[in-house]
Amino acid sequence: MIQESRIAPTADVDPLATIGDGTTIWHLAQVREHATVGPGCTLGRGAYIGPGVILGSNCKVQNYALLYEPAMLEDGVFIGPAVVFTNDEFPRAINPDGTLKSADDWHAVGVTVGMGASVGARAVCIAPVRIGRWALVAAGAVVTRDVPDHAIVAGVPARQVGWVGTAGIPLVRAGDLYRCPSTGITYREVDGRLSPASTET
């Protein structure tokens, strides 16, 4: 059954944006031109989705998060309150001759977030970086380099402090494996990467 999207009267959604079925956009959120917000998403109060930014299905972008173009979120991504995705590697307001920079004077780079990943409140992701599938970025972290699938990163700058399963709960070491306390799924680490070793307890 197709559900209609719900857009608050105070939200600013550009007519050239694409909004999926069942998506909810709350007060004062802004979705810019050519952005794509997939079905079943939620955009919180004051969230900003830049021009051409792409959100997959069932993403949650919490209050006052700022996702600057050309960010791309795969399905099921969680973005916490006041998260910022940058897009300028060498920010300046003016050129060396003192003239105001225009859109032609710099090249935007984006943050990419893999399926099921979560980025905690007030984290800052410095583009261009990729947050891996099912990864977890701790609140307040500053991400300056790519985050592997299933990794937990924290701090300034962010560094890996553990592994996390698809349930969002940190994995527990069990001999040569890592086990999810919630699902019972076990994982194996090989060359700094995690992959499932089982699918059930």
Confidence of residue 201 (pLDDT cuts 50, 70, 90): very low
Q: Is the pLDDT of residue 200 over 60?
A: no
What pLDDT, on the 0 to 100 scale, is given for residue 199?
59
Query: 102-123, pLDDT tens digit by residue?
Result: 988 889 999 999 999 999 999 9
What are the residue boundaries of the structural domains of the chain, listed by start? 6-164, 165-201
- Residue 124: helix, strand or coil by DSSP? strand
Query: 61-95, pLDDT tens digit by residue?
Result: 999 999 999 999 999 999 999 999 999 999 999 99
- Residue 19: helix, strand or coil by DSSP? strand
Query: 6-164 in CATH: which number?
Result: 2.160.10.10
How high does pLDDT run on average in the chain?
95
The sheet that has 159-163: what strands, in order across it? 6-7, 24-25, 42-43, 60-61, 78-79, 118-119, 136-137, 151-154, 159-163
Six-digit token string for 91: 């920010």
d(CA 7, CA 180): 37
d(CA 108, CA 110): 7
pTM of the predicted protein model:
0.94
